[in-house]
């Protein structure tokens, strides 16, 4: 093998002169002539017979050359040069092809670089396929979680995992040094990093001792923090930083690509330092999130089955109403991370594949058209001795050259597009901002372009021109017409599917924007504040801060109403409880089940007036109640209707913490019923809700609050004024000031982004399909110039000719639209979870895009149609 390779290499480099073969053949012929003369032939006859016996000298020489190593390279270079020359002669054709491919390959690549991160790429952990997320799911928390009360039991007695670990969440913490900063601190178990298969870039992991209550304080810092605060200085290991007032030793730095399994942003990682013994006794214990590494050979299903007994143990700890609604969940870490975006990712991928197919169909169609006009050339080359393989190879080389140019342009386009995506994308799409064009993505782009080339190169190349084309009687053949027609029909069908998806999402977005929120977000400025643990350690100090701030703000310029809450409608964070926890005094508790979730908020009396939420019954909270020892509650209309059907809820006493000991479950007096307000986010339903009055008592307050100010001034003025007021009280407190309209607008970002993306691809697909249709109809007109001339000569009017062309176009458009409708009808079901108040088979959306598509397609055919009516019969008939 090696010997052969070296020999070939030698000939490849050294080559072989053509003369050598000629000399060899000449010698052969001379020998034969001599031999023939010896048998008694005349010299002429001898030479003639020798030549006959040898056969075609030129053919032999050509074959010898084909045997030579490097022959393919030589012909390849020749083919490429030939292809490039051809493209240069026809710049309109080649630029159309390259642009089409750029759109197709570019959008596919950009989308793949986003989707790849979600669906395919390995997570940044060692052997990440064996990592799972383990826990309980309940109606109140559909993502699996664990409770300290049973976690340690699970950790000790589980069988299917090699290791099991937990984190207890990420919370804001303060770096209290000369240059203070608010950071995100993750709290994890000591075996967290080893279980994930991650080791610090420098330094070490926590020791078990540091993970005990009151153990030595240690911290791992993120790569980002190491870079921004310590300039990658490795001397940082062993140094101290003050976190929430405590001197903490930096023991290690996390890897650059590290991310928390639940994708929270974290700057610092601290040991959770839970008291395991106390947790075991606690009920329900600290909420936590558990992750585990499967033992080799154990599947997720097996693991789930083996955890059965432990799950039963946890069920016995759960309060009775929960038991039926709590389930065990074990799933791969990737599923845990992408459960929301997986569907969107696949839909996006499907859309972009449709665009790519349309682009490829377009290029195929263009190449077929070009092939038709080059039939004579091919026939001549074939007659001059080019083999079928040779012509096929030439055609494929052309296709590959085109697709290579398309791939280069496509990659550039993808980079641009990706930047656009990232700029447009709302926050909270962690996968998008990390998408990059890297070698892996480039490989994908290359593979895509190769596939395209095979797709659109092979079809036209399969044909070989016969001798009849040499006659040149027909300028253009009609033979590939059926194939091109089918391609156009497929393109129209594809763009129909894209358009239908776009229209559905657009209608859904319209509904989201136009829905009634149940409140008036105009002229509301909000300020979210979270007080630091060290400066404000007690509820008293926290209450004092907020009350002072409220007093200062209330008497500011142009503030007709000012309220404090702990959360804001119409979406995002709010407190939750279960319906079963609510109990009317004098009535038994709900017999079984949780009854679903109920949202609730802490509010001050002016909350309803500021947000213009009508209080439909009673008078809501009053200033006098602020100082009362009693407790008061306002119910939402839907909750009041559910608890007190056909009764007057006012004055009733309600317990809100069912299941808790009587001392912790005081009675609340219902003082009002407020109209329902959107509270589950823009695209989701509404939960019943109640409001608790935040009195002037420390027990009603905690670290975080949102101030809600109605303003009559321009929001920017009020925003600046709020900032100055907060700063005058305490300049170190971070405050997030925004108008409520901005917050609501941000919630619509995601559906808007989805709609824009789909609309973009729909437009791209439509444009490509229209170009394809235009090409076929133009071709049809050119082909039939003579026929049109004859028709006009015998008296057809221009309208007749136009009708002829348009009828032909309709024969492509209508089947395409019909096919597309059928496809879109079957596929649109996939979208249903992304749609808000729109049926996946919404007739208006489907009718609209059908009309649009037919209209645009007819307009595109009018251009060649117009050209057809201007055919001059005398010229047309003379042209052959």
Partner 1 sequence: MPQPTDLLQGTLDLLILRTLALEPMHGWGIAQRIQQASQSVFQIGQGSLYPALHRLEYKGWIQADWKASENNRKAKYYALTRAGEKQLEAEIESWDRLAGAVALVLGQG
Interface ranges with partner 1 (CB under 8 A) = 3-4, 6-8, 11, 20-21, 23-25, 27-28, 30-32, 34-35, 53-56, 59-60, 63-64, 66-69
Q: E strand or H helix at 203, and its extent?
A: strand 202-203
SS3 assignment, position 678: coil
Q: Looking at beta carbons only, is 71 or 120 nearer to partner 1?
A: 71
Question: How many angstroms separate the CA atoms of 71 and 12, rounded?
Answer: 9
Write down the least CB distance from residue 201 to partner 1, Å: 53
Least CB distance from residue 391 to partner 1, whole Å? Answer: 21
In 476-569, which ranges are continuous DSSP H helix?
481-514, 539-554
Of the candidates 244, 250, 252, 318, the residue with the CA atom closest to the CA atom of residue 285: 318
Residue 452 · residue 364 · CB < 8 Å: no
CA dihedral 298, 300, 306, 310 (to 10 degrees): 130
Distance CA 819, CA 821 (A): 5
> Least distance from C-beta 49 to partner 1, angstroms?
12
What Cα–Cα distance (Å) separates residue 148 from each residue in 135, 284, 289, 336, 789? 11, 7, 10, 21, 88
The distance of closest approach from Cβ of residue 75 to partner 1 in the complex, given in angstroms and rounded to an integer, is 16
Q: Which is nearer to partner 1, 30 or 141 (CB)?
A: 30
Q: Which of 610, 626, 503 is nearest to 563 (CA)?
A: 610
Omega of the bond leading into 284 within 30 degrees of 0 (cis): yes
Q: Are 557 and 713 in contact (CB under 8 A)?
A: yes
Q: How far is 284 from 328, CA to CA, in rounded Å?
A: 16
Least distance between partner 1 and beta carbon 388 (Å): 19
Question: In angstroms, what is the minimal distance from the CB of 431 to partner 1?
Answer: 53
Task: Please count the residues of the chain.
Answer: 880
Considering beta carbons, is residue 64 or 862 the nearer one to partner 1? 64
What's the DSSP call for residue 201? S
Of 5 and 120, the one with the shorter C-beta distance to partner 1 is 5
Q: Which residues pair with 133 in a beta bridge?
A: 291, 331
55 or 297, CB closer to partner 1?
A: 55
How far apart are CB 779 and partner 1 at their closest, in Å?
44
**Cβ 826 to partner 1 shortest distance, Å:** 52
Nearer to partner 1, 23 or 177 (CB): 23
If residue 845 lies in a helix (H) or strand (E), which one and from where to where?
Answer: helix 843-869
**CB closer to partner 1 out of 56 and 213:** 56
**Residue 451 vs residues 364, 445, 690: alpha-carbon distances, Å:** 12, 10, 59
Report the SS3 class of residue 614: coil
In the complex, the smallest distance separating the C-beta of residue 379 from partner 1, rounded to whole angstroms, is 26
- The residue among 70 and 658 lying less far from partner 1, judged by its C-beta, is 70
Angle, CA of 182, 186 and 191, to the nearest 5°: 155
What's the closest the beta carbon of residue 12 comes to partner 1, in angstroms? 9
Tell me how far, at minimum, the Cβ of 24 lies from partner 1, in Å.
Answer: 5
User: In the complex, what is the shortest distance from the CB of residue 32 to partner 1, in angstroms, rounded to a whole number?
Assistant: 7
Beta-bridged to residue 454, according to DSSP, are none
Bridge partners for 161 per DSSP: 294
Which of 4, 880 has the CB closer to partner 1? 4
* Shortest Å, Cβ 41 to partner 1: 17
| Angle, alpha carbons 23-24-25 (nearest 5°) | 90
For the packed helices 798-827 and 481-514, what is the interaxial angle rounded to 10 degrees? 60
Q: Pairing mode, if any, of strands 597-603 and 689-693?
A: parallel
Return the number of the residue (64 or 343) whose C-beta is nearest partner 1. 64
Q: Where are the alpha helices (DSSP H) in 374-475?
A: 375-383, 388-424, 430-433, 439-461
Q: What is the 8-class DSSP label of residue 140?
A: T
Residue 58 or 699 having the CB closest to partner 1: 58
Query: Using an 8 Å Cβ cutoff, are 336 and 745 in contact?
Result: no
When the beta carbons of 1 and 423 are compared against partner 1, the nearer one is 1
DSSP line for 747-805: HTHHHHHHHHHHHHHHHHHHHHHHHHHHHHHHHHHHHTHHHHHHHHHTT--HHHHHHHH
- Rounded Cα gap, residues 268 and 186, in angstroms: 6
**Smaller CB separation from partner 1, 34 or 800:** 34
Of 55 and 731, CB closest to partner 1: 55
- What is the Cα–Cα distance from 18 to 740, expressed in whole angstroms? 83
Q: Which is nearer to partner 1, 59 or 324 (CB)?
A: 59
Cβ-contact 501, 828 below 8 angstroms = yes
Burial class (CB in 10 A: 0-12, 13-18, 19+), 857: buried
- Residue 54 CB, shortest distance to partner 1, in Å, is 4
**Residue closer to partner 1 (CB basis): 57 or 675:** 57
CB 80 within 8 A of CB 397: yes
């Amino acid at each position: 093998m090696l010997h052969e390779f070296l020999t070939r290499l030698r000939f490849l480099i050294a080559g072989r002169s053509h003369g050598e073969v000629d000399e060899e053949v000449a010698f052969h012929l001379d020998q034969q002539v001599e031999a023939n003369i010896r048998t008694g032939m005349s010299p002429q006859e001898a030479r003639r017979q020798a030549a006959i016996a040898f056969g075609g000298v030129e053919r032999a020489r050509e074959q010898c050359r084909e045997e030579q190593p490097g022959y393919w390279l030589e012909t390849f270079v020749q083919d490429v040069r030939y292809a490039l020359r051809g493209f240069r002669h026809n710049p309109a054709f080649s630029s159309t092809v390259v642009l089409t491919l750029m759109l197709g390959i570019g959008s596919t690549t950009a989308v793949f670089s986003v989707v790849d991160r979600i669906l395919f790429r390995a997570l940044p952990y060692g052997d990440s396929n064996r990592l799972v997320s383990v826990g309980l799911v309940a109606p109140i928390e559909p993502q699996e979680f664990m409770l300290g009360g049973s976690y340690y039991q699970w950790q000790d007695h589980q069988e299917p995992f090699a290791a099991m670990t937990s984190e207890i969440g990420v919370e804001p913490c303060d770096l209290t040094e000369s240059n203070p900063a608010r950071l995100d601190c993750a709290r994890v178990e000591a075996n967290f990093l080893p279980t994930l298969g991650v080791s610090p870039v420098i330094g070490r992991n926590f020791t078990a001792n540091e993970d005990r209550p009151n153990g030595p304080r240690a911290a791992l810092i993120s790569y980002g923090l190491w870079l921004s605060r310590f300039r990658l200085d490795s001397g940082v290991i062993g140094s101290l930083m003050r976190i929430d007032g405590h001197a903490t030793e930096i023991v290690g730095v996390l890897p650059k690509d590290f991310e928390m399994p639940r994708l929270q942003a974290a700057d610092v990682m601290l040991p959770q330092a839970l008291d395991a013994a106390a947790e075991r006794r606690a009920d329900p214990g600290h909420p936590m999130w558990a992750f585990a590494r499967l033992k080799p050979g154990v599947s997720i299903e097996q693991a789930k089955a083996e955890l059965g007994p432990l799950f039963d143990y946890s069920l016995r700890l759960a309060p009775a109403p929960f038991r039926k609604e709590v389930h065990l969940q074990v799933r791969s870490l990737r599923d845990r991370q992408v459960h929301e975006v997986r569907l969107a990712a696949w839909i996006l991928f499907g859309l972009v594949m449709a665009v790519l197919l349309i682009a490829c169909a377009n290029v195929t169609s263009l190449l077929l058209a070009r092939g038709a006009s080059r039939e004579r050339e091919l026939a001549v080359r074939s007659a001059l001795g080019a083999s079928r393989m040779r012509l096929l190879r030439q055609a494929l080389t052309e296709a590959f050259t085109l697709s290579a140019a398309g791939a280069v342009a496509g990659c550039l386009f993808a980079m641009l597009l990706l930047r656009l995506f990232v700029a447009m994308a709302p926050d909270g799409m962690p996968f998008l901002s990390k998408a990059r064009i890297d070698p892996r993505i480039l490989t994908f782009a290359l593979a895509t372009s190769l596939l395209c080339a095979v797709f659109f190169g092979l079809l036209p190349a399969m044909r070989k021109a016969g001798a009849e084309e040499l006659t040149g009687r027909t300028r253009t053949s009609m033979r590939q017409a059926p194939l091109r027609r089918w391609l156009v029909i497929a393109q129209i069908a594809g763009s129909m599917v894209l358009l239908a998806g776009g229209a559905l999402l657009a209608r859904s977005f319209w509904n989201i924007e136009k829905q009634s929120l149940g409140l008036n977000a105009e002229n509301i400025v909000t300020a979210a504040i979270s007080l630091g643990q060290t400066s404000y350690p007690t509820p008293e100090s926290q209450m004092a801060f907020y009350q002072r701030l409220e007093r200062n703000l209330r008497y500011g310029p142009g503030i007709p109403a000012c309220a404090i809450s702990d959360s804001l409608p119409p979406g995002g964070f709010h407190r939750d409880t279960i319906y079963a926890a609510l109990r009317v005094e004098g009535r038994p508790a709900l017999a079984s089940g949780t009854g679903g979730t109920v949202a609730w908020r802490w509010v001050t009396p002016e909350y309803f007036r500021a947000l213009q939420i009508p209080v439909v019954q009673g008078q809501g909270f009053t200033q006098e109640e602020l100082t009362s020892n009693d407790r008061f509650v306002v119910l939402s209309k839907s909750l009041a209707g559910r608890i007190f059907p056909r009764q007057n809820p006012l004055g009733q006493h309600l317990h809100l913490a069912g299941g808790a000991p009587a001392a912790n479950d005081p009675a609340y007096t219902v003082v009002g019923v407020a109209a329902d307000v959107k509270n589950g986010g823009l695209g989701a339903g509404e939960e019943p809700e109640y409001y608790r009055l935040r009195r002037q008592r420390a027990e009603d307050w905690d670290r975080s609050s949102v101030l809600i100010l109605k303003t009559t001034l321009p929001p920017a003025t009020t925003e600046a004024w709020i900032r100055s007021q907060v700063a005058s009280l305490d300049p170190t407190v971070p405050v997030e000031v925004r108008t409520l309209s901005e917050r609501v607008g941000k919630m619509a970002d995601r559906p808007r982004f989805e709609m824009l993306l789909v609309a973009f691809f729909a437009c791209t697909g439509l444009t490509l399909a229209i170009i394809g249709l235009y090409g076929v109809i133009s071709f049809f007109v050119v082909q039939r110039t003579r026929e049109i001339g004859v028709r006009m000569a015998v008296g057809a009017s221009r309208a007749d000719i136009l009708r002829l062309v348009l009828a032909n176009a309709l024969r492509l458009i209508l089947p395409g639209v019909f096919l597309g409708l059928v496809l879109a009808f079957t596929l649109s079901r996939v979208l249903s979870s992304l749609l808000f108040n729109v049926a996946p088979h919404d007739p208006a959306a489907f009718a609209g895009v059908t009309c649009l598509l037919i209209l645009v397609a007819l307009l595109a055919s009018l251009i060649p149609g117009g050209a057809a009516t201007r055919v001059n019969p005398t010229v047309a008939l003379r042209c052959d």
